[in-house]
Amino acid sequence: MILRRSAPLCLVLGLATSLAGATGVFAADSATSSIASYTLIAPKSEVPSGLLARAVIASGAGCPALTGRTGRGQSFALRMQLRPKPALAGAAYSAVEVCERGIPTGTVSAMVGSRVIPASLPSRIERIALSGDSGCRISSWEVQDCSNTSAWPLARISRNMAKDNPDVIINLGDYFYREAVCPATDQGLCASNPPPPGNLPVTGSAMGWIADALIPMQPVFDAAPILMVRGNHESCARGGIGFFLFFSPQRSTALQCAPEMVDGAVVVPSNDISPTWNATWLVGDSDATAHTLDLEIIDSAYGQDGTVDAYAATQRSSYVAAASHVAKSRPDEAWLLTHRPIFGMISTQFTDGGPVWTSADQAAASQGLLGGFSLVLSSHIHVAQAVNIPGQPAQIVLGNGATELDPTTGYDTPTYGPLSNVDGSALSPLATPYPAPTSTWTDVRFGYVIATPGARSTSWMFEHRDQRGKPFASCAVAKRSANCKATT
């Protein structure tokens, strides 16, 4: 079915309901025509409060009002504004529009239409929920059971994460995985899957995004403001148009993946990078232990995993900007958020005897620029993982957010470091090998993390919880190191 701009509201919402399948979380607000509403963490350079309200609506329905009240008892009612949509996106995104408005500084309660959304962050953050790689994989080589909440547990994880009452949520990227027509042999797993658009050289569509993210993630949207990192599945040739329409927190990036007509053909940008941005919070379990935490958010949608090529030099400017901001602002603590891990290991089952270290371009691009960070947070690899490299910040990988998991074996601690071959020789003349890790830890099961700060700056406890919200491991993070152990 191709939904055109004049598609009636009931058709769009009805189709969205059917796409929800077994998630059991769809509750479109018919009074406001809202398919999904949420609050994004945004750069304060663009939104003074650092919080941006978004609503996804059926085309032609008209943007709802953003209403609320400030801490001084003043009420407000603001008309939300349409977020620009690429002109050539055509039928793939014609059924929906996105409305946005910065939430005023000092707001204590807010609603989009008749739906309550998170209106503020606490003055001191004590609980951070984290996850990554969440979509249901449908490709020519692998099909996940999108109708089974155990096989694709994003809705279940979202509900349990919301029950944990986080102050803020961080998603480390890769939301869109419905990249192929459901194979005839797998109709029982993905028959309701929206196929890729036929009018664009991309795999993403509005209906695919509704099914893969907007419906099953609504519990976390209701729970707390969310910080969204761009993943490689959100490259322009994949789900990029949707990411910049729905989830990019930067108002200036709305048209970053806009298709263009070149020599009679529709094309999308390649190797585009969003500007590095940051968020700074006061964190701590008491006023006595409160300290500033700076988060530097890198766009690592592109780059080679197994080799270093010329792209590393292009990507380096992102890490220079992050390191420069940390050096200038001098926070008590700084984390680097980049979808592709700098020090991440894949299973030996994937390597055919080659090195296990992945994201080689990112490791090379960031080399020498990590001194101001105590922790690197990423996803990309579909496991939970921690890696300690001498002299470098600890790397934690959280790619177990619902996408089909990687193999359960093949994660022994390597005797060679990132940017090295198995024999220790340099992977590329463009980059210097890192030393071998002092320790690694990997667990392969669906889940998420609740992170709580300790008594000292840079001291944290990362509690890993499974899809049912039950703890299965913990990582004590301190002094740029992560010590992880199973609890079940």
Task: Give the tens place of pLDDT for each residue, 435-455.
Answer: 999 999 999 999 999 999 998
Taking residues 90-113, report their average pLDDT. Answer: 95
For residue 283, pLDDT beyond 80:
yes
* 1 has a pLDDT exceeding 60: no
* Residue 65: φ, ψ to 5°: -90, 145
Long-range contacts from 411-414, C-beta under 8 angstroms, 24+ separation: 411/345, 411/347, 411/348, 411/356, 411/383, 411/385, 411/440, 411/442, 412/348, 413/437, 413/439, 413/440, 414/345, 414/355, 414/356, 414/357, 414/440
With pLDDT > 70 as the criterion, what percentage of the chain qualifies? Answer: 93
Q: Which CATH architecture best describes the domain 125-486?
A: 4-Layer Sandwich (3.60)
Q: Which of 84-88, 360-364, 377-381 has the lowest mean pLDDT?
A: 84-88
For 320-330, the pLDDT digits (tens) are 999 999 999 99
What's the whole-model pTM score?
0.94
pLDDT at 24 over 80: no
Task: Give the confidence band of 474 by pLDDT, cuts at 50, 70, 90.
Answer: very high
- DSSP assignment of 63-130, as one string? PPEEEEEETTS-EEEEE-EEPP--GGGGGGTTTEEEEEEEPPTTEEEEEETTEEE-----SSB--EEE
Best CA proximity match to 343, nearest among 313, 373, 310: 373
Rounded to a whole number of angstroms, the distance between the first and last alpha carbons of the chain is 47
Q: Specify the higher pLDDT residue, 14 or 5.
A: 14
Q: Give me the pLDDT at residue 465, please.
A: 98
Report the pLDDT value the prediction gives residue 14, as an integer from 0 to 100: 52
User: Model confidence over 305-359: pLDDT tens digits?
Assistant: 999 999 999 999 999 999 999 999 999 999 999 999 999 999 999 999 999 999 9
Q: How do the domains of the chain map onto residue ranges?
A: 125-486
Greater confidence (191 vs 378) lies with 378
What digits encode the pLDDT tens for the residues 212-229?
Answer: 999 999 999 999 999 999
Return the pLDDT at 21. 43
